[in-house]
Amino acid sequence: MSAADASTPVSPDQEPPVHRSANRKRTVLIALVIIAVFLGLALGARWLAKGGGDKRGGRPPAAVNIAPATKADVPVTVAALGTVQPIVTATVRTQLSGVLFKIMFQEGQMVRQGQVLAQIDPRPYRLALDQARANFARDEAQLVSARLDLNRYQTLLKQDSIASQQVDTQRATVGQLVGTVAADRAAIGTAALNLDYTAIKAPISGRVGIRQVDIGNYLTPSDTNGLVVITQVDPIDISFALPQTQLSAIGQGAGAGSGFPVEARDQNSATRLATGRFLTFDNQVDATTGTVKAKARFANAGNMLFPGAFVNVSMLVQTLHDVVTVPVSAVRHGSQGDFVFVVKPDNTVKLTVVKVGPTAGDRLAILSGLDAGTPVVIEGADGLEDGASINKGGKRGGAGGNGGNRGGGNGQHHRRANSGANSGNAG
């Protein structure tokens, strides 16, 4: 064969029969392999859907933990964020002007009503008291002399030895001196009071704050900051706001006079600070927030409640007796509302819609839809559907156990959030 013949391409029609047959076999083999793969996938999916797993869920039986519904007493409480407020707050000011002579308290000290806190220089006021007493003594002596003269003039008038005008004048002089002596007595009282005011005393019992003045400062009654601030800390109040929808339920019990028990906890709700009693509502609802201010009073002998601090307030409204309860993790939420998965004897589950009530710790009250003793799924319910098969005794915290609010198999089932908001349902 020449070089020109070797470089000329060969058409399919001119290809040797042996080569054409091999290419067709290769193409048919590849097509058969592809068809076999698709058939295998389809048959495998059909097997999983019908017989390889759960009849309805398309998955093996889920490993779950179960627990029976039990009866218990559930307290109904309302919760709110409150602010500690002292019943009385007093700014201690001087009632007269003077140089601060002495300070007789420590910052942060507990003081009693009437206790002397500071002393203004008393010497000018002591001299003023002495002067008032001297004026009184002088005027009282003049009054005694005038009365004696009046008696003499009246005797002489009876003897017709003196003009009546002179007697009248002397009687007027006695009256003037009586008024002067009375004014002197008042001046003595004022001077004594001012001298007493030089000792600045606590108007209430409570805790003193940080002092605003130093020894040697000149104090006046018009000082804005005063000497120090005293707050009454025992007893003490907590102010908080409640939704207006809870007014009727709370108001009926509070009107009895004893008041509901109220508990104050720290901001993390980890430590109970004090217990007290509900005191009163405000006289109107705040139209902007739909809430009404309320106040509770607490004994605070241990000073656990600090004025101005934020605390969590929980008030017991009533107690539900012998109601069905389940763990909070058993209740889930979907388009049909709150529900639980009830375990049937054949190890399948039934989706049961329930009406939930308040929360007590880690248990949730079921007001209707479930009987005591009924086993329910408490862990591993993620992905379960009505009629799904289960295996009892799944590991705690495993797949689908405490996974939070993840969606189920069809994306419609969610774990009910354990926020504790139900505990505030007073209705």
Of residues 171 and 30, which shows the higher confidence score? 171
Does pLDDT of 412 surpass 60? no
pLDDT of res. 103: 94
pLDDT of res. 347: 87
**Average pLDDT of span 167-180:** 93
20-50 pLDDT, tens digit per residue, is: 666 777 777 777 778 877 777 766 666 555 5
Burial of 243 (0-12, 13-18, 19+ CB in 10 A): middle
271-320 pLDDT, tens digit per residue, is: 899 999 998 888 888 888 888 898 999 998 888 999 999 999 988 888 88
Q: How far apart are CA 369 and CA 341, in angstroms?
A: 12
Token duo for residue 254:
């509070």
Q: What is the DSSP letter of 305?
A: S
Q: How far apart are CA 352 and CA 376, in angstroms?
A: 10
Cα separation values, 27 from 11, 21, 39, Å: 19, 10, 19
**Average pLDDT of span 116-142:** 95
Which residue from 85, 128, 123, 136 is spatially nearest to 298, judged by alpha carbons?
85
pLDDT of res. 406: 34
Are 53 and 390 contacting, i.e. CB atoms less than 8 angstroms apart?
no
Instruction: Specify the length of the chain in residues.
Output: 427
Token duo for residue 294:
């309320």
pLDDT of res. 35: 81
Helix (H, G, I), strand (E, B) or coil at 85: strand
Taken in order of first residue, the domains within the chain and their CATH numbers are: 62-77+320-424 (2.40.420.20), 79-86+234-243+260-316 (2.40.30.170), 89-229 (2.40.50.100)
Q: How far apart are CA 64 and CA 58, in angstroms?
A: 17
Does pLDDT of 346 surpass 50? yes
DSSP-assigned beta bridge partners for residue 35 = none
253: confidence class by pLDDT, cuts 50, 70, 90: low
Does pLDDT of 9 surpass 60? no
Helix (H, G, I), strand (E, B) or coil at 142: helix
Token duo for residue 74:
């559930």
Q: How far apart are CA 49 and CA 46, in angstroms?
A: 5
**Average pLDDT of span 61-73:** 88
pLDDT of res. 317: 83
Cα separation values, 353 from 19, 334, 338, 377, 380, Å: 72, 10, 6, 14, 18
pLDDT of res. 20: 60
Q: How far apart are CA 4 and CA 66, in angstroms?
A: 87
Does pLDDT of 427 surpass 50? no
Does pLDDT of 410 surpass 60? no
pLDDT of res. 104: 93
The residue to which tokens 């500071």 are assigned: 118
**Average pLDDT of span 116-121:** 95
Q: 266 — phi, psi (to 5°)?
A: -70, 180
188-233 pLDDT, tens digit per residue, is: 999 999 999 999 999 999 999 999 999 999 999 998 899 999 999 9
pLDDT of res. 33: 75
Of residues 5 and 226, which shows the higher confidence score? 226
Token duo for residue 312:
């969590």
Whether the model pTM is above 0.85 = no
The residue to which tokens 């009073």 are assigned: 297
Q: Which amino acid is at 402?
A: N
Burial of 49 (0-12, 13-18, 19+ CB in 10 A): middle
**Average pLDDT of span 340-359:** 89
